[in-house]
Amino acid sequence: MEKALPAIPAKRYFTIGEVSDLCGVKPHVLRYWEQEFTQLRPMKRRGNRRYYQHHEVLMIRRIRDLLYDQGFTISGARNKLQELVQMERDKRRAGEVMLEGVEVIEVEDSTLEDFEDSTPPPESDEVSEKLLLVRRELFEIRDLLSANH
pLDDT band at 69 (very low <50, low <70, confident <90, very high): very high
Question: Which tens digits make up the pLDDT trace of 78-131?
Answer: 999 889 888 888 888 887 655 555 444 444 444 444 444 444 444 566 777 778
CA atoms in the 13 A half-sphere facing the CB of 51 = 8
Angstrom distance (rounded) from CA 55 to CA 115: 33
Look up the domain containing 65 and give its range: 1-104
Per the prediction, the chain carries an average pLDDT of 80
52: β partners: 14
Tell me, what DSSP letter sits at residue 99? -
Q: Are residues 114 and 83 in the same domain?
A: no
Number of domains into which the chain is organized = 2
Q: Are residues 93 and 38 in the same domain?
A: yes
Summarize the confidence of residues 15-33 as an average pLDDT.
97
Taking Cα atoms as reference points, which of 69, 94, 73 lies closest to residue 5?
69
Q: Are residues 52 and 117 in the same domain?
A: no
Q: Are residues 87 and 135 in the same domain?
A: no
Work out the percent of the chain whose per-residue pLDDT is above 70: 76
Which tops the pLDDT comparison, 40 or 3? 40
Q: Are residues 16 and 43 in the same domain?
A: yes
Q: Are residues 97 and 130 in the same domain?
A: no
Tell whether the model's pLDDT for residue 32 goes beyond 50.
yes
The CATH number linked to 55 is: 1.10.1660.10
Q: Are residues 69 and 132 in the same domain?
A: no
Three-state SS string over 24-73 comes to: CCCHHHHHHHHHHCCCCCCEEEHHHEEEECHHHHHHHHHHHHHHHHCCCC
State if pTM tops 0.85: no
Which tops the pLDDT comparison, 117 or 35? 35
